[in-house]
Amino acid sequence: MTKENTTKGMNITRERMIQLLNEDLAGEYQAIIAYTVYSQVLKGAAYTDIARELEAHAGEELAHAIKIAKQIDYLGGMPGVMPKTVKTSSDPVTMLRADLENERETVGRYRERIRQAEAMGEFALSETLRAIIVQEQEHEIDLSAALDIDVPLAKALAGKNKGRGQLKKHHASRNGRLV
Ligand SMILES: [Fe+2]
Ligand SMILES: [Fe+2]
């Protein structure tokens, strides 16, 4: 077992952090592409509002990509140029599920990255990642609401808002199709 495994990936080198951030950057590129395309091809009255939200997500993912590229450059690395593979489908639910799956994976990756950045003493990096993860979690909630999937995070938010009914109402006003 390597030292990295025994410390659960916390004690990592600068080079390893650059490599991991480049994987994150490839995920951000994937998200930009997926949201750009899906927001335009989602058809039907039921999807009008979520399509508009996906368009907003695309812009936020671009901002994430720029922030991650900046951090890679700051660490002395070269930001990569290749996106992760983007799934294509003509089925709205398949598209939304692909986005949700990617957001969940992204949140998990950034949670780990924040811990690694703090273990390295790279607090500016961890702050940047914290700001990004807040938006990724919002994306996850938007997609879950559109697919009418309950998520632990949505439950937590519902708790803060004194009940799930209020969260549903919140999304009803944003997504239209939910009541
Ligand atoms: Fe992102
Ligand atoms: Fe996202």
Q: Is 121 helix (H, G, I), strand (E, B) or coil?
A: coil
Q: Which amino acid is at 44?
A: G
Residues, the chain: 179
Superfamily of domain 9-175: Ferritin, core subunit, four-helix bundle (1.20.1260.10)
CA of 144 to the centre of ligand 2 (A): 13
CA of 32 to the centre of ligand 1 (A): 8
Question: Tens digit of pLDDT for each residue in 40-89?
Answer: 999 888 899 999 999 999 999 999 999 999 999 999 999 999 999 999 99
Contact between residue 129 and residue 113 where contact means Cβ atoms under 8 Å apart: yes
pLDDT surpassing 50 at residue 3: no
Q: pLDDT class for 10, splitting at 50, 70, 90?
A: confident
Indicate the pTM of the whole model. Answer: 0.81
Residue pointed to by tokens 């939200």: 53
CA of 6 to the centre of ligand 2 (A): 30
List own/partner pairs for 4-9 with CB under 8 A and 24 or more apart: 9/112, 9/116
Domain locations in the chain as residue ranges:
9-175
